Structure 1
Amino acid sequence: MTGAVRIGNCSGFYGDRLAAMREMLEGGELDYLTGDYLAELTMLILGRDRMKNPEGGYAKTFLRQLEDCLGLAQDKGVRIVANAGGLNPAGLAAAVRALSDKLGLGVRVAHVEGDDLLGRAADLGFGDVLTANAYLGAWGIVDCLQSGADVVVTGRVTDASVIVGPAAAHFGWRRTDYDRLAGAVIAGHVIECGIQATGGNYAFFTEVADLTHPGFPLAEVHDDGSAVITKHPGTGGQVSVGTVTSQLLYEITDGRYANPDVTARMDSVRLTEQGTDRVAITGAVGEPPPPTLKVSLNSIGGFRNTVTFVLTGLDIEAKAALVRRQLEAALPTRPAELQWNLARTDHPDADTEETASALLHCTVRDADPAKVGRQFTSAGIELALASYPGFHVTAPPGDGQVYGVFRPGYVAAGKVPHVAVHADGTRTDIPAADDTRELRPVDDTPLPEALPDGRTRRVPLGTIAGARSGDKGGNANIGVWVRTEEQWRWLAHTLTVPALRQLLPETAEFTVTRHLLPNLYAVNFVIEGILGEGVAYAARFDPQAKGLGEWLRARHLDIPERLLP
């Protein structure tokens, strides 16, 4: 095959726009339509779902979308690949077959399994967990598609694999076609999160003409692995070098982006505007994948509860100290974890009561629900007439809620089964990669030449820089990029790890590493442990670190006037 294969996306998470599948099928030409429904938190949600119903454990919204669109996809010759199978891809495949029969369509449905390691978790050294799922690659999907499947559902494959699979199947790539595979991984990484590639969550969102109802993205992937990111004509949003750069920086580490099939060199990528809403991705370099697979491990951490006290007006710090002392003295038994956080949202001489108020959060965690339940919240409420002036809280007393804990694990790829299960029930074992390379950080990227000294102005970093941040387990990343070579020379020398710690004091106690991506005019920071034990643990105000980048952009520093708009 020599022409580009058009691979669209209709879901970036479990809960994304329900109408997106129909919009993508009706909006223009596609060869494949993919969807990413899984995230670290989603696996926990599906794990609890499976505890209640062993027949569950998959993304039910995918079935609702197919009920509306399966006939349309078949009429248009579009094949569908999605990781909506979650913890039960076989169950979802059976449900899709039943739906196909009900609609009289005769759709061929295959699935990929083997990622679920829960039954072997103890033997593999993962302990007592709720879910244990290895991140599989794309070759099971390839086998299903090359065997004629119209719909392929998977469990925990990597997010990009649902795009890599169709591209590799379409062109007949080999497992050692690393540059081609790397290009598809990078294109997949761009479109996997849906509208984040077409203007959603974009730092310069005010430049996007219409974000009322942005369209979902698609990738035109070529046989050499290069791709063009675009969207259907007439849809809202925008595809630009900026929106694609922003998504490339999402939830990465350094210049190497490891997948089970290839390690893609993010520092090799070049982006070129090809016209309205068309951005070419070229130059991708691939290396052999690492010998291990990452494993998503979720467990029930215990029970959690929070009381938020509202402190209004004067003497905020003294009011906080008083109620903290009173509540800790009143608790009959101290929970295993008790955390206080004072958010100084108050303003002096405020003209509304809300802007005159600060919020004092007390969060507790314990394995015993009684210690974080009514005995905790009631102890706070009992202070209502005995504490600081203006006492009130944001919610009535309540019981504690279960919280989850995420941690990554690693296992030799050869120890994980990877099985393609075809529409007729036949099974194909997919071997692990036999050409592998230990993953090492890129640490030799040279700095560009520094800018000469000149007049500066103290303004927000976001005046010239975009940012995108996100979570990976307990870690967070912040990718920061600029748009010109001169701005890049300044950014690379100025936004160092010490500078980041000064601008974002909440990062001071954590290990922070910085990685340069010169082709993107970008730096990426990884902040280890700032999110505690994952998003469900809720260790901080922004548990998924989605706003860290915007906080950084809002901080002021001295920027050369020659770089300012």
Structure 2
Amino acid sequence: MTSTVAPLRIGNASGFYGDRFDALREMLTGGQLDVLTGDYLAELTMLILGRDRLKDPGAGYARTFLKQLEECLGLAQERGVRIVTNAGGLNPAGLADAVRKLADRLGMAVRVAHVEGDDLAARYPDALAAHAYLGGFGIAACLDAGADVVVTGRVTDAALVTGPAVAHFGWGAGDYDRLAGAVVAGHVLECGTQATGGNYAFFTEHAPEKLRRPGFPLAEIHGDGSCVITKHPGTGGVVDVGTVTAQLLYETHGARYAGPDVTARLDTVRIGEDETGDDRVRIEGVRGEAPPPTLKVGLNRLGGFRNEVTFVLTGLDIERKATLVREQMEAAFDEGNAKSRPGELRWDLARTDHADASTEETASALLRLVVRDADPEVVGRALSGAAVELALASYPGFHVLTPPGKGAPYGVFDDVYVPHGAVDHMAVLHDGRRVAVAPAHDTRVLEDVPQPTLPEPPPDGPTTRAPLGLVAGARSGDKGGNANVGVWARTDEAWRWLAHALTVERFKELLPETAELGVTRHVLPNLRALNFVVEGILGEGVAAQHRFDPQAKALGEWLRSRRLDIPEVLL
């Protein structure tokens, strides 16, 4: 049944804490909107805000948002745009109160509401922060009551879109297909300019001036849950099937994309260019199912202290120089007292050197030592002493990028799960009334979708050894200690080859760092895509900085650079 309610135009002005400061103003002045969202939270952000709150109990929210709002609250009021943001972080009530004080100071009557109940720190006293991922119905309750600004803590990123859609269209908890469509729209919008050409695999196909300053995305959501992804006219960037596909695959796992309100079936998503204009991509056909019986809870705790030093190895005998300094450092730790040896040491040699190089820098390799321990003195003084004492006693040309300083604390992220009813999801309205948000009534245990039938493989023909990225795009990211790499083809012919060629075994061959790890492949034929989930490659999460690329942001680009035999007809 077609909805008679006008589409909801909802934009995004932030993909992370630290995103473009002027985006709020750009989105408010660039074109018509009904709702403007801002996503400020990530696993690492929650740790940062937790440390802020240790120093100041009144802190714990994204202060940048308040500064942005000081410039733009009047604009939002003039244009009738409602603002929904998770910038409340660990202290949504504190940020809501700060927004009210800002409005009073500016002489404006603004109705500010907030959502709470995600904070489960009392259950997990050893955690610096413990927050359940809430859904969108608390946001909807605030908007239904007339709020102009809604502040949340840890809701799912997509909830910033599903909440306004529920309020606008009057959807109920059982409208799973419609809710799933809004979740997919929210997932596309949540990372801001990643949907409009930012971090895009095929960026070289677009003029550089078009990508220098991508505009932020918006979605025109319809009552049946379908949407059109676009951006304001005249802004930079590009919205096409490729940019939207890339973001759909970002930080997802299997075909079932679970959330607190609904499980969206990513294998049902249909996307295509919208015929009504440029930079318009239609998403439709999304099916939804009841959410799982539990809510995800993100736990952030302090894991200990870390420090690092990078030795510069120049010219000849790189491997032997690396061996010498490594043995010297290990001996220095062993010769000290038992407390001077860090609990964990990790060595990585990056062969950035070139033979017969024309500059000293390009003649040099980098040997990186990372140490971790529960004692800050061990990763501070012990590492610094051992490294500095080698200044005149090690390999020829010895120097380091920077002398090691004091040890810095690092965080660890875990996720656990609790029943829906274990969380007191509460909408605190602008007039102070508190409205309890009912937990999901119907739930469905999350199961993997059976692997779909693969397309017929292409006929045999001549092949050429070439980089995978010539025929496939990729985008990768982090989920706790795991990483995902979404890989997609842009034509049916390339998909027929990719679906058969890029197996788990081939994936591990191309990315040797994953060879000993668990890797699961999920097939998404509608998107002509494969999604690989790599277990444990990020250790204890981004805050632990386990590897060179701690959020796996470039894992997909590494994969695209690897060479394999590709049918010449595709090249």
Instruction: Normalising by structure 2, report the TM-score.
Output: 0.97
One-letter amino acid of the counterpart of residue 469, structure 1: S
* Mapped partners of 1:223, 1:121: distance in 2: 40
| Aligned partner of residue 373 in structure 1, secondary structure | helix
* Mapped partners of 1:45, 1:133: distance in 2: 14
Identity %: 71
| Aligned partner of residue 457 in structure 2, secondary structure | coil
* Mapped partners of 2:313, 2:108: distance in 1: 62
**Do the aligned residues in 2 keep the contact of 1:136 with 1:156 (CA within 8 Å)?**
yes
Shift of 1:133: 0.2
* Aligned twin of 1:81: 84
- Between 1:345-354 and 1:505-514, the stretch displaced more is 345-354
* Aligned twin of 2:394: 387
* Pairwise CA RMSD: 0.8
* Mapped partners of 2:565, 2:356: distance in 1: 29
Of the three residues 98, 116, 122, the one matched with 1:95 is 98
* Mapped partners of 2:206, 2:370: distance in 1: 39
* Aligned twin of 2:74: 71
| Aligned partner of residue 70 in structure 1, secondary structure | helix
* Aligned twin of 1:47: 50
One-letter amino acid of the counterpart of residue 191, structure 2: C
One-letter amino acid of the counterpart of residue 385, structure 1: L
* Aligned twin of 2:555: 548
| Aligned partner of residue 211 in structure 2, secondary structure | coil
Shift of 1:121: 1.6
1:238-387 correspondence runs (5 A): 238-274=238-274, 275-331=277-333, 332=336, 333-387=340-394
Of the three residues 138, 154, 178, the one matched with 1:156 is 154
* Mapped partners of 2:357, 2:254: distance in 1: 44
Alignment deviations for residues 476-500 of structure 1 (CA, whole Å, 9 cap, x no partner): 0000011011100100000111101
Shift of 1:2: 2.3
Shift of 1:397: 3.2
One-letter amino acid of the counterpart of residue 540, structure 2: E
* Aligned twin of 2:142: 144
One-letter amino acid of the counterpart of residue 197, structure 2: G
Alignment deviations for residues 270-298 of structure 1 (CA, whole Å, 9 cap, x no partner): 11101310000010000000010001100
* Mapped partners of 1:443, 1:319: distance in 2: 52
1:464-503 correspondence runs (5 A): 464-503=471-510
Shift of 1:348: 2.2
**Do the aligned residues in 2 keep the contact of 1:406 with 1:534 (CA within 8 Å)?**
yes
* Aligned twin of 2:180: 182
Shift of 1:12: 0.3
Shift of 1:347: 2.0
* Aligned twin of 2:60: 57
**Do the aligned residues in 1 keep the contact of 2:308 with 2:404 (CA within 8 Å)?**
no
1:121-136 correspondence runs (5 A): 121-122=124-125, 128-136=126-134
| Aligned partner of residue 310 in structure 1, secondary structure | strand
Shift of 1:208: 2.7
One-letter amino acid of the counterpart of residue 523, structure 1: L
Aligned pair count?
A: 559
1:395-434 correspondence runs (5 A): 395-434=402-441
**Do the aligned residues in 1 keep the contact of 2:307 with 2:404 (CA within 8 Å)?**
no
| Aligned partner of residue 431 in structure 1, secondary structure | coil
* Mapped partners of 1:247, 1:391: distance in 2: 44
**Do the aligned residues in 1 keep the contact of 2:451 with 2:522 (CA within 8 Å)?**
no
* Aligned twin of 1:125: none
| Aligned partner of residue 322 in structure 2, secondary structure | helix
Alignment deviations for residues 90-132 of structure 1 (CA, whole Å, 9 cap, x no partner): 000000011111111110000000000001225xxxxx11000
Shift of 1:358: 1.1
* Mapped partners of 2:216, 2:97: distance in 1: 28
Shift of 1:352: 2.0
**Do the aligned residues in 2 keep the contact of 1:194 with 1:217 (CA within 8 Å)?**
yes
| Aligned partner of residue 38 in structure 1, secondary structure | coil
- Between 1:428-437 and 1:328-337, the stretch displaced more is 328-337
Of the three residues 182, 189, 192, the one matched with 1:191 is 189
| Aligned partner of residue 479 in structure 1, secondary structure | strand
* Mapped partners of 1:350, 1:271: distance in 2: 48
Alignment deviations for residues 105-162 of structure 1 (CA, whole Å, 9 cap, x no partner): 110000000000001225xxxxx11000000000000000001000000000000000
> In the alignment, is residue 439 of structure 1 matched against residue 446 of structure 2?
yes
> In the alignment, is residue 455 of structure 1 matched against residue 458 of structure 2?
no
**Do the aligned residues in 1 keep the contact of 2:307 with 2:371 (CA within 8 Å)?**
yes
* Mapped partners of 2:411, 2:138: distance in 1: 30
| Aligned partner of residue 365 in structure 1, secondary structure | strand
**Do the aligned residues in 1 keep the contact of 2:306 with 2:371 (CA within 8 Å)?**
yes
- Between 1:1-10 and 1:479-488, the stretch displaced more is 1-10
Alignment deviations for residues 204-262 of structure 1 (CA, whole Å, 9 cap, x no partner): 11223301211000000000000000000000000000000000000000101001000
| Aligned partner of residue 421 in structure 2, secondary structure | helix
* Mapped partners of 1:517, 1:353: distance in 2: 48
* Aligned twin of 1:168: 166
* Mapped partners of 1:220, 1:313: distance in 2: 58
Flag structure 1 segments of 5+ consecutive residues without an equivalent: 123-127
Shift of 1:345: 1.4
**Do the aligned residues in 1 keep the contact of 2:61 with 2:90 (CA within 8 Å)?**
yes
One-letter amino acid of the counterpart of residue 225, structure 1: G
* Mapped partners of 1:397, 1:478: distance in 2: 34
* Mapped partners of 1:26, 1:515: distance in 2: 41
**Do the aligned residues in 2 keep the contact of 1:25 with 1:73 (CA within 8 Å)?**
yes
> In the alignment, is residue 24 of structure 1 matched against residue 31 of structure 2?
no
One-letter amino acid of the counterpart of residue 506, structure 2: A
* Structure 1 residue ranges, 4+ long, deviating more than 4 angstroms after superposition: none
* Mapped partners of 1:276, 1:377: distance in 2: 57
One-letter amino acid of the counterpart of residue 473, structure 1: G
Alignment deviations for residues 59-117 of structure 1 (CA, whole Å, 9 cap, x no partner): 00110111011111011000000000000000000000111111111100000000000
* Mapped partners of 1:218, 1:152: distance in 2: 18
* Mapped partners of 1:65, 1:207: distance in 2: 34
Alignment deviations for residues 483-540 of structure 1 (CA, whole Å, 9 cap, x no partner): 0111001000001111011111111121000000101111010000000001110110
One-letter amino acid of the counterpart of residue 340, structure 1: W
**Do the aligned residues in 2 keep the contact of 1:199 with 1:208 (CA within 8 Å)?**
no
Shift of 1:443: 2.9
Instruction: Normalising by structure 1, report the TM-score.
Output: 0.98
Shift of 1:464: 1.1
* Aligned twin of 1:524: 531
